[in-house]
Amino acid sequence: MLLQRVLTAVALLLVLLPTILLAPPLAWGVVSLAFVAVAAAEWARLLPRPASAPTLAGLLLLAGLAWLFLPRPTWAAPALCAIALVWWVGFGVAALARVRAGDGGAPVAGLLVFACWLALYELRQLGPVALLGAMAIVWVADIGAYFVGRAVGRRKLAPRISPGKSWEGAIGGAFLVVIVAWTLAAAPALADSLPAVLVGKLGPWVAGVVLVGFVALSVVGDLHESLLKRQAGVKDSGRSLPGHGGVLDRVDALIPTMPLAALLHLLLQ
């Protein structure tokens, strides 16, 4: 299993990193669109009333290709990101409180996944550092939560949804994000990253508060997918990534946070 996980991770890095770092934004848009279409299909199968996974994935692909190759108004991207963010802050949190996810069905799932892809594409338009910097916040939070949770985690964060997560782990992840952001924000090579933009425009303390909110939103996305899987009675969202489960398992925390990252860049640029 470990070898399988490593091989899959290496294969993903060999595809994604060159696309992000070396290819034009359009190439990243096409590659990332294929990934999120798989995630949308996996989400459709987890719904209380499972929708047609191929239909949702196909519609997402068509919408994405239309976005890439047809004219669109400049307000459309921030508007869709804002709508997705409002849903996550309002309905997403409420779903966790009710311990019931999936209301809204495939249309909501498609909108949220599409908004995530759109944010990923818009961030790449700003440059590789902007895109990787936004995603790195989620990765650093996950690392901090894992190690702090294993070391001192006692109080369950959401025992009815994901018993393995603890308040200590979540707080540790947020703390690590803030410390790393403050440390790296002054690096000239990272000037276009979200942490550097936040610290430069808002100051370290306000930036820290925003980053804590960012991490909290990533936890909402993670828990929301865990709840969908628990309701569906499955361990993983799919089998598309050997050793890792499904694509949705890997991007669940990115789905609510990337629209926020894109909006913050837009507001602070």
Q: Please list the pLDDT of the chain residue by residue as tens digits (269 residues).
A: 444 555 566 667 778 888 999 999 999 999 999 999 999 999 999 998 888 999 999 999 999 999 999 998 999 999 999 999 999 999 999 999 999 998 889 999 999 999 999 999 999 999 999 999 999 999 999 999 999 999 998 899 999 999 889 999 999 999 999 999 999 998 999 999 999 999 999 999 999 999 999 999 999 999 999 999 999 999 989 887 766 688 999 999 999 999 999 999 999 97
Range of the domain at 225: 2-68+77-268
pLDDT score for 2: 42
Amino acid in the structure at residue 78: P
**Residues 106, 44: Cα–Cα separation, whole Å:** 6
Structure tokens at 68: 């890439």
| Chain center to CA of 44 | 17
Q: Give the chain's domain count.
A: 1
Q: Is 241 helix (H, G, I), strand (E, B) or coil?
A: strand
Ramachandran region of residue 123, left (φ > 0), alpha (ψ -120 to 50) or beta?
alpha
Tell me the pTM: 0.94
Angle at CA of residue 96, ends 93 and 99, nearest 5°: 150
